[in-house]
Structure 1
């Protein structure tokens, strides 16, 4: 399906990234000379998504100023400076700007490297895959061996038909790789102002409507200052391997 709207979740405090984030919001921390959020914006641009909402909280003026100079997109700000609303609450707060149709959600502090020569790219494949009749949420997933910076055991297992279930130690785990196609009806009936998207993941699982699509490429998450160098080394190694 065609999706033209996205939200980037950028309101986190970035406490584990201190001391860098004492003066800089985490989405503007650079990896390989590029702010983390720029990787997501570039991915949205490749997918033809130009209507973008970004939520802000910590050191918001710095991020808003940087976003104002980003070319080729209509970027609107969802202001959470008064109260941090967590991932789910942040999206609900921005729904008046996002609309009633399915939209993309990206994390501002994770990114992925596309598999060179693979077409369509990951976001285009997600949009093609999303079926609003059978799905409420579609997550991009990565195998553990496709990831740098991930320290957990895994988030989900994926069935042959693409349905996701929480990983409980059995089967081959996959990671939620920071990109979602989401139908806003998943928020119906939630009255709390502040809540995590994990609540919506579990609701969709209970109804058999949480699906995953496998990422092609390499996924990186940068949680600490030390992880910046690890991500840059992994990026160089991956790009070097695929062009040889």
Structure 2
């Protein structure tokens, strides 16, 4: 059960440096975070959620079509936007966050993928995430989406969750009830002893699981993953249906 909030993060990072290969041909001239869903870029949607949740600093990493992403991000109002420059080398998800840690500070921070978001339910999901954080037992807290009704997702799920919220990966031969939604709360201590240069966030997932410190909370509402042109179509249809 969510407990009384003892800490509220001030900083967040939106991962925005990827090549967007699965979104081609749309990403030939437009970086994936700037692709519009129902008239608003995915990066702007992420920034709006962070602002609504009371975040103050937003770090955006850039690599592919970096100038376009940077110029777009620096126009966001109500957030202190900082650019983590990966023009020289794309650092993958884990390496990109590690490079940005000096901008994020020493406290737990929010991480968001730019290509997934929620049609919110009764309770805003970032509020749910923050309220569920327990620094004594967690290094990472994932916002999870149910596999069965996720929009734009056709995989077998990512994680199993016990009654306490602790996560473990699904067996390769099985199906899991929950997907990592691309949103999480992370303590910087999880990056201790990680490699320099590019590495995947999956390394940190495994590290936290090994230490029994990877937890999850099921989100409220409908999760939309915009990873392909078909996913974009499905997301816009889901948004239109929700307005009816």
Q: Same fold (TM over 0.5)?
A: yes
The answer as to 2:21 corresponding to 1:21 is: no
Number of the residue aligned with 1:160: 163
TM-score (norm 2): 0.94
Take 1:43 and 1:177, find their aligned partners in 2: how far apart are those partners?
14
Question: Which of 202, 209, 214 in structure 2 is aligned with 1:205?
Answer: 209
Question: Which of 179, 203, 225 in structure 2 is aligned with 1:221?
Answer: 225
Once the 2 structures are TM-superposed, how far is the Cα of residue 170 of structure 1 from its aligned partner? 4.9
Unaligned runs of 5+ in 2: 1-6
Take 1:132 and 1:58, find their aligned partners in 2: how far apart are those partners?
35
Once the 2 structures are TM-superposed, how far is the Cα of residue 158 of structure 1 from its aligned partner? 0.7
Number of the residue aligned with 2:12: 6
Provide the alpha-carbon RMSD of the alignment: 1.2
Match of 1:148, SS state, is: coil
TM-score (norm 1): 0.94
Count of equivalent residues = 237
Take 1:157 and 1:191, find their aligned partners in 2: how far apart are those partners?
27
Indicate conservation of the 8 Å contact 1:111/1:219, yes or no. Answer: yes
**Which stretch shifts more, 123-132 or 162-171?**
162-171
Unaligned runs of 5+ in 1: none
Number of the residue aligned with 2:149: 146
Question: Which of 30, 41, 59 in structure 2 is aligned with 1:53?
Answer: 59
Q: Which runs of 4+ in 1 moved over 3 A?
A: 169-172
Once the 2 structures are TM-superposed, how far is the Cα of residue 46 of structure 1 from its aligned partner? 1.1
Q: Pairwise mapping of residues 1-244 of structure 1 onto structure 2 (< 5 A)? A: 1-115=7-121, 118-119=122-123, 121-168=124-171, 169-170=173-174, 172-240=176-244
Once the 2 structures are TM-superposed, how far is the Cα of residue 55 of structure 1 from its aligned partner? 0.3
Take 1:59 and 1:170, find their aligned partners in 2: how far apart are those partners?
38
